[in-house]
Structure 1
Amino acid sequence: MRHSPSIVPLDRLDREIYLVLEDFGARAGCAWRETDETETDLETVLRHLLAGQYAYPVRIVCFNPGEGWSRDATSDVADALAQRVTDTYAEVPSALQDFIAANATRRFDVQLALPLQGAA
């Protein structure tokens, strides 16, 4: 039996790929969001979540086809989001707050900046 080489270069697949399962409501249900191949790395997914590009994220999976593994990365991503919010004081959409609260494995306390007296 002949083995044909892959038409997709392996180096494109030998990396961690993150996909987001989003809840679109009772009528539409949940679906894996379609995304460009170049926007499936962890950093880009974190930026998109914080920017509100996902209204109601439910689950996040990570896989590496080159190494042949997959895992649930939901709590890891929730922890990374919470840490980023804590470090940068970023505003977080309420649905993302719920996602972090439901999935983070560590406690993150955020001190909100108070307005300065006399500041305009």
Structure 2
Amino acid sequence: MRRSGWPPSIVPSNDQTVYLVADDFGQIGRAWREADIETTDLETVIQDLMAGQYSNPIRVAAFNTSERWSEDVSEDVAREIQRRCDLQLTDVPSHLQAFVDRHVGRNRQQLSLRLV
């Protein structure tokens, strides 16, 4: 039975995976960025990162309460950002370079094709 004054749950009620970005605001600290539930899917988070919606992203976490799991997906997201930039023949945006370097590394190996 719900008590009067009990706050509503912030946990999504449908079976979906939610992606949240931790942002570093410098001297004022770090925080998980507030997000509308409709904008917590992976594609929207990646697009928002690439568009500069986060000042200094440090981590991306995914969770699904229905399936009872959570995971740090920062490396996967950084690799996807790098992949998209490679496909577009562009550099990683400067506001994401530290994030990609931190999670993928500067010395990522370039795949080479063997010519026969």
- Shorter-chain TM range is 0.7 to 0.9
State the match for 1:67 in structure 2.
67
Q: Where do residues 11-90 of structure 1 align in structure 2 (5 Å cutoff)?
A: 12-26=13-27, 28-90=28-90
Residues 1:95 and 1:12: Cα distance change in structure 2 (over 3 Å): same
Structure 1: 4+ residue segments shifted above 4 A: none
Q: 1:13 touches 1:64 (CA, 8 Å); kept in 2? A: no
In 1, distance between residues paired with 2:39 and 2:33?
12
What 5-or-longer segments of structure 2 have no aligned partner?
2-7, 111-116
Cα deviation, 1:2-24, whole Å, max 9, x if unaligned, reads 7xxxx98xx95312110000000
Evaluate the alpha carbon distance shift between residue 70 and residue 97 of structure 1 in structure 2; reply closer, same or farther with a 3 A threshold: same
Per-residue deviation, 1:90: 4.4
CA distance in 2, matches of 1:90, 1:37: 31
Q: CA RMSD in A?
A: 2.4
* Structure 1: segments with no counterpart, 5+ residues: 110-120
Residue type matched to 2:25 in 1? F
